[in-house]
Amino acid sequence: MVYEKFRKEVERILEEKAKPVTWNEIKASSGTLKQKAPYHVYVQKLQGDIGLVRFKREKKTVWALRKWFEEGKFKEFLPEKVRFTILSVKSTHAVAANEYGALKRIYPLKRTLNRWDVIEAEVEEFFPGEDKRPESMRLKEDAMEYSRRIE
């Protein structure tokens, strides 16, 4: 399936369901989405194109639209803690990969982090109002824990 058809179908189903759902629920609601798992490149493009947000809830990955959270809906669905692998560190923020390999800009940084550090942190704000970049996330400064380092 070409990307445009995939995008339109996923967006249609998410709008129709109007709540965070799993890939299996999306697939079951569609007559055209037959693949067991979605193509990862398409999923990454959806993050920018339609504001797709994916996160774990009760050991399942759920899909949602960013605009729902910006409207104040479904805040209870967002995880309280997240895990990142640090890829690049600047003075005020870091670029990190989450468990899906999606790049996130995380801030503020209170402790010194290095490339390849793995951290767990509590989220203060998933979609900061002052920072409209879709990949930005504000963490609680005092709730960031160093987990390990990838060698």
Instruction: Return residue ranges of the chain for CATH 2.40.50.140.
Output: 79-148
Instruction: Return residue ranges of the chain for CATH 1.10.10.
Output: 3-76
Q: Is the pTM of this model over 0.85?
A: no
Residue 133 in this model has a pLDDT that exceeds 70: no
Tens digit of pLDDT for each residue in 18-47? 999 999 999 999 989 888 888 988 988 898
Give CATH for domain 3-76. 1.10.10
**Angstrom distance (rounded) from CA 4 to CA 117:** 37
**CATH of the structural domain 79-148, one choice from 3.30.2310.20, 1.20.1090.10, 1.10.8.60, 2.40.50.140:** 2.40.50.140
Tens digit of pLDDT for each residue in 80-90? 788 899 999 98
